[in-house]
Chain A
Amino acid sequence: MIRFFLLFVAIQALLFGGELTPWAQTFFVLPWTTALARISTWLVALVDPNVVTAGKVIRSTTNGFAVSIEAGCNGVEATIVLLAAMLAFPASWQRRLAGLAAGIVAVQGLNIVRVISLFYIGQWNAQVFEWAHLYVWQALIMLDVLIVWLIWVRTLPPPDGGGGPVPPAVAAASA
C-alpha cells in the first residue's frame, strides 16, 4: 500500500505539472474544454434550443446567463487522479487500459451532467449555484473517481493471482 501511495503521488504530480504547461494547455486542455462545452450545448439543445456556445462558454439566449468552463470544472484533474490511481495500483496493462477507458467515460459523463446542471442552477438561484459549484459537485466528482476505482479494483483478480485454490481437475488438465 505504501508503494501504491508513493507511486500515486508521483504520477499525479507529474501529470498535474504537465497539465499546467503552456503546451498542454494549448494543445490539450483548451480543445478538450471547448469540446466539453460543445457536447454539453448539443445535449441541452435537444430539449432547450435557446442555448449557444462560444469557445468554452455556454450561454442562454433567453436571459444572457452564461457559464465558462474553467480549470477544475473540465474533469481533467479528476481524470488525472483516476489515471494515477489505476497506474499506481498493481494490475496488468490490459486491465488498466480497460479500466481507464471505462473510467474516463464515467468521470467525463458525470462532468457533463455537472456542467449542464450548473448552467440551469445558475439561472435559478445564485446562492445555490455557488454551493453546487464550489463544494457539492467537486465532492461528487471525486466520489465518482473513487467509486470507479473501487469497482475497477473489484474486477481485478485476487492478489495471489489464482483466486483461491485450483480445483484438482483443472490442475490435472493444465499439468
Chain B
Amino acid sequence: MPMTPGLVPRFVVRVLAWLPVAFAVWYFTAPVLLWPVKLVLDVVCRMGFGDLVRAVEQAGSVFTFATTLRPGGVGATGQVALEVDGLAYSYGLPLFVALVLAAREPGWPRKLGAGYAAMVPAIAWGVLADFLKTVAMSSGPLVASQTGFSALQREAIAFGYQFGALILPTVVPAVAWVLMHRGLLERLRAQA
C-alpha cells in the first residue's frame, strides 16, 4: 500500500467498494463456506453434547440440531429439532475479505485462507451457543428441565451466546486482519 497522507481515507473507500461484492459472494456461497462449520459442530456435539444432540444437519446456511429432548405438553411425541441460521454469525467473512482486498498487501490469497480458517471456529461457537441458549432458556421449562444444565452452566451459556453473537462475528475478522497486516501498522506509525 502506498505511504501517502491519504492512506487511511483511500483504504476506507476501497473497503466500502469491496463490501457489497463481498456480501453478495458470501450470501450466495454461504452453503459451501459454512460446510466446515458443520464439521466443527459435528465434532463438538459428538464430544461434548452427545447426550443432547443426535445429529447436526445443514441445509443451505441453516443448521438443524436434532436433539434427544422430548417436546413439552401432554401427549407430545417425537423429539425436538432446532434451527440456527449460520448467516447470523458469519457476516464477518465479507468484512474480512473487503479489508484484505482493500489493503492490497502481498500474499492476500494466503491471508484470505488463514482468516477464513480463524473464523470457522468463531462461527461454530456462535451457532452452537445459539442452539444451547434456545434449549436451556427459550424453549420453556418442560424442555429446559430435560437438559440437566445447572444454574451456573446456564449462566455460562448465556455469556457464551452474548459473546458469540455480539463480539466474535465482527471482532475476529478485525483482529485477524490487524495481526496479518502488522507491516502496514508499522508503516502507519512511522508516518506520524
Contacts and interface: CB of A to CB of B under 8 A. Distances in A.
A145 B191 contact: no
A70 B31 CA distance: 29
A83 to B, nearest CB: 13
B189 A141 contact: no
A77 B165 CA distance: 11
Given A150-B8, A159-B186, A135 B91 contact: yes
Contacts of B7: 154
Interface stretch (A12-20, A50-58, A59-67, A110-118): A12-20
Q: Which of B23, B95, B182, B186 has the most CB of A within 10 A?
A: B95
- Grouping DSSP codes into helix (H, G, I), strand (E, B) and loop, the A interface class, with mixed when no group exceeds half, is helix
A109 B188 CA distance: 25
A157 B192 contact: yes
Interface residues of A, number: 32
30 contacts: A5-B175, A5-B179, A8-B175, A12-B167, A16-B162, A16-B163, A16-B166, A17-B159, A81-B171, A134-B88, A134-B91, A135-B87, A138-B170, A139-B23, A139-B95, A141-B170, A142-B95, A142-B173, A143-B12, A143-B19, A146-B177, A146-B178, A150-B11, A150-B185, A154-B8, A155-B192, A157-B189, A158-B189, A158-B190, A159-B186
B174 interface: yes
Given A135-B87, A139-B170, A158-B189, A146 B99 contact: yes
Contacts of B186: 159
Contacts of A142: 92, 95, 170-171, 173-174
A156 B8 contact: no
A72 B165 contact: yes
Q: Which of B8, B173, B186, B189 has the most CB of A within 10 A?
A: B189
A136 B99 CA distance: 14
A71 interface: yes
B166 A72 contact: yes
A43 interface: no
Interface string A115-154: 0000000000000000000111011011101110011011
B15 interface: yes
B94 interface: yes
Which bracket fits the contact residues of B? 35 or more
B103 to A, nearest CB: 11
A147 B12 contact: yes
Given A139-B19, A142-B174, A153 B167 contact: no
Interface of A: 1, 5, 8, 12, 16-17, 20, 71-72, 77, 81, 134-136, 138-139, 141-143, 145-147, 150-151, 153-159, 163
A157 B192 CA distance: 6
Nearest to A80: B167
A143 B15 contact: yes
B115 interface: no
B91 A138 contact: yes
Interface in B145-174: 158-159, 162-163, 165-167, 169-171, 173-174
A135 B88 CA distance: 7
Given A20-B158, A77-B166, 19 more contacts: A8-B175, A12-B167, A20-B159, A71-B162, A72-B165, A81-B167, A81-B171, A134-B87, A135-B91, A136-B23, A143-B12, A143-B19, A146-B178, A147-B8, A150-B185, A151-B8, A154-B189, A155-B192, A156-B192
